[in-house]
Every structure is written in structure tokens, then in C-alpha cells.
Structure 1
Amino acid sequence: MSASAETVPGLAFPILIGDIGGTNARFALLNDETSEPVVFPVVPTGGYPSIQAALETSILPQATVRPRSAIIAVAAPVKGDEIPLTNAGWVITPADMIATLGLSDVIVLNDFEAQALAVAAIAKTDCAQIGTGEPLESASCAVLGPGTGLGVAGLLHTHATYFPVPGEGGHVDIGPRTPRDTAIWPHLETIEGRISAEQLLCGRGIVNIYQAICHTDGLMPEHTDPADVTSAALAGTDAACIETLSLFAGYLGRVAGDMALIFMARGGVYLAGGISQKILPALQQPEFRAAFEDKAPHSALMRSIPTYVVTHPFAALAGLAAFAQTPARFGVATTGRHWKA
């Protein structure tokens, strides 16, 4: 079994599609070129030793037909025949998937590549706009989202074709801007001495900010679960949690603005993933958009760029489904990412 150099999959239906994150794995089945995805219950990646075990135990027994091929998006760079997830224990080995599950083809993409495909596939009613700005038709877009990690991708549109641009932009450096940042920065947990955007803008990043605030102010941290911090913040019951979510929104706005400049994303910047949906009320407060626009000398440009939270519950699966059913719409190169039996 080897990776092919095709740019259009032409896979045999039924096609299994999957969005594999650091915490949860989401799967759906496409019966043919026009059918809606049949979505299966979410499975935790930590509950199974491998993707094959998760599929054989919890997904395929619920399917009315056996898939013949698969397109999987993973939270990791896609390179080589073994793909370890960045923030989970699974190692995706497409050859083993083919042998174990009886598939003819497996294509593996980056998870935020799938989120970028979703921007071209979902309706505007599946997004909530934050602030002002109008998208320019056929302009580039940027997609980022805090989850178990921080995913980033671009979406270019030219010659009636959408080109997703995957990357590891969540690992760019981020530094202090305000006196409050300077005070809490020494208390933030680092990775090998550096603070990347992902160290702040993900589930563990929420806890990282919260604990740094507590240590700075001489408080005893009460929370170790990001959901507890965000719940207390949204309920207005804990001052440290409220400040945590306010800072989180501002830092996310800063990084989102950076990505908007990198991709010249006049088609819009989209916040994907479950955390963005859960903290939408906080993102609608002034901090996010103010930080997004604060990019002198280009603040006027930034004010013209719209920002959205993707509210579709299975956006990445929608993007993969669009690619599987209408591959000619998308410029997705599968060289080194398409394995055949």
C-alpha cells in the first residue's frame, strides 16, 4: 500500500468521513454523491487505543452499510505513513486502517484544513458575526479555533476553486502587551521556555491563564477544569474566572488579527471549534474585536474585515462531505496523503 499523487479523490461510496481531535472523534457516513451525512455519536479519543478500535467498537456496528473508503481529518501535521496526533495518544496508520477495516482508499487531511473546507460548504446561518465588516466576494479567509489545541488554516478562492491552506499557526509566539500581561506572564506555564498562542488559546490555556491570575493576585486557585472556569466566568460568580475569559477573548482577537493580516482575509475570519461556540457571549463583548482591530498601521483595514463564530455542530464533517461529494470544487492536493489498497 502506498500514497498516491492524485489531486481529486474519486473514491468509492459509501465514504466514511472523520474529524479526529485531541479529545473527541466525530464520524459520519456518506452513502452517495447527493446524500446528507449520517452522523454517528461522538466518541472520546482517550476511550480507545486506536482509531480502528473506535470504529470497530462504536461506529461501524451502527452503520447500515460498510464503508468502502474514508477521508479522515486529524489534529496533526500529515506526513509519513504514521501520523501521531499532537494532543492525543492515537497514531493514525492508513495502511492498517485499510487492512483492518477492508477499505480501498484512505485520505488523511489536517483537521483545520477540514474546517477551512467547511467555510465554503456551510450556510451563513451557521455562523454568528462578531462586530462589523463585510466579506469581499472570492477573497481569502482565515480559520482558527481553540480546542484541545489551537488550529489555524487559510482558505483561498481563485478560478472557481477553493484551496485550503493547512498549517501549524497555533504555535506562533505570543507576548505581553499590557501592564496586566506583564504581571501575569511570569506565572504562565511554558513549553520548553516559550509561550505559544496554543499555550493560552485552548482548553488547558484557559486554566493556564486562570492559575497565572490567581498566583499574581495571591489567590488559591479553585478550578482545574476549563469548563468550570468558563462556566463561572459566564455566570459572573468568580472575579478571577471573569478576568480569565476577558483576557482569553482579547488574546484570541490578537491572534485572529495576525492571521487576518497573514492571509489578507478580507473574506472573513472564522472561529471554529467547540470552545468558540461555548464562549460566544464573551466573544461578543468588546475585548475580542478591539484586540482584532488593534493592528496599527492597518487598523482601518482590520475594521473592514468581518469575524464570525462557526455555530454548525459538525462543521468539519460538513467540509469533508463537500470535498468527498464535489471534489472538483476544491484544490486539495492528496500527494502523500492518499493510501490505496
Structure 2
Amino acid sequence: MAKHSNIDQPLSFPILIGDIGGTNARFSLLVDAFSEPREFPIVHTADFATINDAIQAGVMDKTAQQPRSAILAVAGPIRGDEIPLTNCDWVVKPKDMIKALNLTDVVIINDFEAQALAIANMPDAYREPIAPRPDTRIASRVVLGPGTGLGVAGLVHAQGKWIPVPGEGGHIDIGPRSKRDYEVFPHIKTIEGRVAAEQILCGRGMVNLYNAICKVDGVEPALAEPKDVSHAGLDGSDPQAVETLSLFATYLGRIAGDMAMIFMARGGVYLAGGISQKILPALKKPEFRTAFEDKAPHNTLLQAIPTYVVTHPLAALAGLATYARTPGRFGLALEERRWRR
């Protein structure tokens, strides 16, 4: 089995598509380039010792059309022939997968590369505009996903192709600007003394921010789970939760604007992940766009860039399917990430 021979050759249909998270794994089967993917029930990772077992039980045993190749999106960098997963005991071993599942090809990419592939051609029905702007440019884009962590990826448009650019943008520094920021930030839990964006802009980060606001206000935190903070912030039942969502939207707007400038994302900035969908009413208030556009001396540039919340329930799978159908549209780097029989 080689990683480099015919590396750009299209995958063979039927193609198994997978989005592997820490808690759940989602799979679909793309029979050919013209069909819609066939979806399978969500697999709970804790129910299976290995990913091979999960694919066998969750897909192979449920269809007569067996996949010949697979493309999987996983959280974290892909290095070597054994790929450990974040927040899950599975280790993806592509060589073993090829043998055990009788595949000819396995491609493993980063989960936010899959999100980037998805926004190359996201239908209007699955993207909710925040402060609608004209969307007429075929130009580079950015996707951010506050969820378990903060995922970030660019989608560069160059030489007629979409090129996904994964990274660790969720771990950049974030700092205070306003008087209120300077009151709250000293109480944000740090990582070795550093306030990374992910310390605020994710599920646990939302709780971190809520606790800091309670500390400044001298009140005992009444909420301990991200969903409780977001619910109370939206319905107005907890003043500190209301401010948490306001500041969360502000800080997310600042980071989104930074990423838009880094990638010159004139094609738009997309907010993916479950949190963005759940707090959509808060993101549609002025705070997000105000912070997004407040990038002097480049305010005018940011004002022209559209922003969206991705509402597709299976965006990563949709992105992988788009790539599998039309790989020539994308400049996806497969070196060290494709294994063949």
C-alpha cells in the first residue's frame, strides 16, 4: 500500500463519506457522481472499540452496495499511519482499514477542511445571512465553528480552484478593548497565562465567560452548562447570561473580522457548528457585525464582506460529497493523507 502513487486520481465509487467527532460519527454512501448521498444512522463512538467496527456495523452491514473507497474528516492534524482522535479513544489506521473493510483507497482530512469544502457551494437554503450583503463574488472565504472548540479554516480561490487551508486559528490570542473587557478578562481562565480565542468562543468558553462576568458582578453563577447559559441569555432570565451572549457575539465578530482580513475573504465569512445555530438571534443583533466591521483603517473592506450562519445539519458530509463528485474543482492536498491498496 502506497501513499503517493497516482495521488491525484479520483476516488473510486461507491465512496464512503464520514465525519468523525468525539461523541458521534456520521456516515453516508455516495454511489456515483450524480446521486444524492445515502445517509446512515448516527454512530456513537463509545459503542464501538474501533472505527473499523463502527463502519462495519453502521454501514457495511446495512447495504448491499459496498464502498470501494473512503474519505473521512477527523478532528486534529493527520500525521503518520496512526491518527488518534480528539475526545475519542479511536485511532484511525488507514492501512488496517483498507484490509479489514476491503477498500482500495482511504483519504483522511481535517474536519474543518470538510467545513471549508462545504462553503464552496452552500445553497441559500442552508446559510442564514447576518446583515445581508451582496454576494456576487467568486472569492476566498473563511469558516469558523464555535463548538467543542473553535475550528477555523480558509477556502482560498486561486487559478480556478478552491483550496482549503486548515489551521489552528482557534488558538490565537484574544485581548480586551473596551472598559468592560478590562473588567472581565482578568477573570477568564487561561492556558499557561494566555487567553486564546477558544477560551471564550466555544461551549466551555461560554461558561468561562459567564463565570467571569458573575465574578465581576459579585453574584454566584447559577448556570453550569453551555446550553443553559445560551437559553437563559436568549430568554432574558439571567442578566449575566444575557451579557455573556452579547460579549460572545462581540468577540466572535472581532475574530471573524480578523480572519476575513488574513484570508482577504471577500467571498464571505461562514459561522458553522451547533453553537452558531443555537444563538442565531444573538448573532443577528448589532454586536457581531459592529465588531466584525470595526477594523480601522479597513472598515470599508469589512463592510462589504457578507457573513452567514451555516444551517445545514450535515455540512461536513455535504462538503466531502462535493469534493468526491468533482475533485478537479478543488486543490486538496493529499500528500501523506491518502492510502491506497
Aligned: 1:15 with 2:15? yes
Aligned partners of 1:8 and 1:333 also within 8 Å = no
Aligned pairs (5 A) from 1:124-135: 124-135=124-135
Between the aligned partners of 2:266 and 2:298, the Cα distance in structure 1 is: 13
Distance change >3 Å, CA 49–CA 206, structure 1 → 2: farther
Aligned pairs (5 A) from 1:201-212: 201-212=201-212
Match of 2:335 in 1: 335
Distance change >3 Å, CA 232–CA 38, structure 1 → 2: same
Aligned: 1:245 with 2:245? yes
Between the aligned partners of 2:118 and 2:65, the Cα distance in structure 1 is: 25
Match of 2:229 in 1: 229
Aligned pairs (5 A) from 1:100-139: 100-139=100-139
Match of 2:29 in 1: 29
Give the drift of 1:46.
4.3
Aligned pairs (5 A) from 1:28-67: 28-67=28-67
TM-score by length of 1: 0.94
SS at match of 2:290: helix
Match of 2:262 in 1: 262
RCO higher in 1 or 2 (8 Å CA, sep ≥ 6)? 1
Match of 1:175 in 2: 175
Distance change >3 Å, CA 220–CA 63, structure 1 → 2: farther
Between the aligned partners of 1:49 and 1:214, the Cα distance in structure 2 is: 41
Amino acid at match of 1:208: N
Distance change >3 Å, CA 191–CA 99, structure 1 → 2: farther
Match of 2:73 in 1: 73
Identity of aligned residues (%): 60
Give the drift of 1:116.
1.0
Aligned partners of 1:6 and 1:333 also within 8 Å = no
Amino acid at match of 2:26: R
Aligned partners of 1:253 and 1:290 also within 8 Å = yes
Match of 1:291 in 2: 291
Q: Greater CA deviation, 84-93 or 185-194?
A: 84-93
Amino acid at match of 1:282: A
Give the drift of 1:284.
0.4
Distance change >3 Å, CA 6–CA 113, structure 1 → 2: farther
Distance change >3 Å, CA 43–CA 206, structure 1 → 2: farther
Aligned partners of 1:77 and 1:168 also within 8 Å = no
Aligned partners of 1:106 and 1:340 also within 8 Å = yes
Q: Greater CA deviation, 47-56 or 138-147?
A: 47-56
SS at match of 1:339: strand
Give the drift of 1:126.
1.4
Between the aligned partners of 2:175 and 2:6, the Cα distance in structure 1 is: 41
Between the aligned partners of 1:168 and 1:55, the Cα distance in structure 2 is: 28
Between the aligned partners of 2:22 and 2:180, the Cα distance in structure 1 is: 31
Distance change >3 Å, CA 262–CA 87, structure 1 → 2: farther
Match of 1:140 in 2: 140
Aligned: 1:303 with 2:310? no
Distance change >3 Å, CA 227–CA 45, structure 1 → 2: farther
Match of 1:277 in 2: 277
Give the drift of 1:226.
0.9
Q: Deviations over 1:219-247 (max 9, x none)?
A: 22222221111112112211111111111
Q: Deviations over 1:71-108 (max 9, x none)?
A: 00111112222222344443322222223322221101
Distance change >3 Å, CA 63–CA 5, structure 1 → 2: same
TM-score by length of 2: 0.94
Distance change >3 Å, CA 250–CA 63, structure 1 → 2: farther
Amino acid at match of 2:234: L
Give the drift of 1:138.
2.1
Q: Greater CA deviation, 282-291 or 83-92?
A: 83-92
Aligned partners of 2:144 and 2:153 also within 8 Å = yes
Give the drift of 1:9.
4.3
Give the drift of 1:18.
0.9
Amino acid at match of 1:63: T
Between the aligned partners of 1:222 and 1:47, the Cα distance in structure 2 is: 33
Q: Deviations over 1:91-137 (max 9, x none)?
A: 32222222332222110111111111111232122111101432352
Between the aligned partners of 2:230 and 2:64, the Cα distance in structure 1 is: 39
Between the aligned partners of 1:272 and 1:234, the Cα distance in structure 2 is: 19
Q: Deviations over 1:188-233 (max 9, x none)?
A: 2222221111111111111111112222222222222211111121
Q: Deviations over 1:10-56 (max 9, x none)?
A: 22221111112334322111111211011222233344443223323
Give the drift of 1:70.
0.6
